[in-house]
Amino acid sequence: MSTSSLDKLKEKLKNYAYSIGIDKIGFASAKPLENHLVRLMMRRSENYSYTLNEGDPLKRINPALSLPAAKSVICAAVAYDGQEYIPHDNSLGEAGARGRLSLISRGRDYHVVMHERLEKLKLYIMKVFPNAKISIMVDKHDILEKAFAVEAGLGWFGKNTLLVTPEFGSFVYLGELVTDIPFPADAPVNEGCGKCIKCLEACPTGALDKDRNLNPDRCIAGVSQYKGVIHNDLREAMGNTIYGCDICQIACPYNKRAVKDTLKDVSGSIVQSSAEYNDAFPLLTELFRITNSEFKSRFGHTAGAWRGRTVFQRNAIIAAGNQGNACLVPELTKFLKEDSRAVIRGAAAWALGRIGNSEAVSVLKAALLVERDENVLNEIKYSLKVN
């Protein structure tokens, strides 16, 4: 097929993509992105504690190592709801003790949503090219998806290290079709951050730097997904985080612009329904008491469910400590006395220390006499020392 014919097909593909719920689509060459290799190799050598596996750097920059004879990468973006919900009850009573899930982790798992839409796009292409090789990728470490999205003209690398689109800011999730069809590439867009550093200033842990580097050992989004013991100096910065983090995104002017029609003020908006409210800000006590089956039923359809109940509960306990909510001492006491998971007992000890009233201190002193796990004992001793 000639270049002009492929250009016409591109336009048809774009129109079809928009009709099935893909908000942005662009085309990039599948040539290796050699200019990204040095940074990827540097990141691999850093041995971060909290980072998830970032995959093989050579494979990530070269789609042909995943799909032989790859010629093009079709990059898709779907805008997710940038609407922020703020709890109405800010009291320290049990009813006000809520955690927070990041915007992208609410509702149906975006991996599933994007995969379904890319599958439709793939089938549409194969009506024209029945013998084409096409591989679907969604949040995979087999491809450097933000870099290819930049090449495809979807947006630019923001200083928050996310892809920023002119229309939707960074409130988008990405997916790709790698194919052996040689589509003409689209032109990249101009970088739009300029001198703005609002995202860097907003990050509570200094995880971002001016050179667009992210330290995952200090990024709350990554820390909240870690399965082990979270470093003590990061717990306070987690606030009421249960999963993910939007702080750098909410600070971005492009994101504020993207939601201006539905969000009057990032510091407070009206919740559309009680279900949305409870999904966004679940009660800590509900997370404390949730069983595995209840967790799967309530959160199994979300993007964060893969990390499991223990991670959600540990983060809920840290949130309780950060809120200093004395009403939760009995719940935390039960964790410290009865739970079989050391990571949960340790988090409970820390949270009790943060609350620090006489009841919490008495519980910690009693636990010091019976606890046998060294890490939990250290948490108890630390909490008693600060009190």
Contact 29, 151 (CB under 8 A): yes
Evaluate whether 337 touches 328 at the Cβ level (below 8 Å): no
- Using CA atoms, how far residue 330 sits from 45, 182, 194, 292, 327, in Å, is 44, 63, 51, 21, 7
Identity at 320, one-letter amino acid code: A
Do the beta carbons of residue 321 and residue 357 sit within 8 Å?
no
Q: With 0-12 CB in 10 A as exposed, 13-18 as middle and 19+ as buried, what is 246? A: buried
SS3 of 66, please?
coil
- Helix or strand or coil: residue 100? strand
Instruction: Provide the token pair at 375.
Output: 């890490």
Q: What is the per-residue burial (b if ≥16 Cβ within 10 Å, else e) of 112-124?
A: ebbbebbebbbee
Nearest residue to 79 via CA among 148, 21, 160, 153? 21
Residues taking part in catalysis? 139
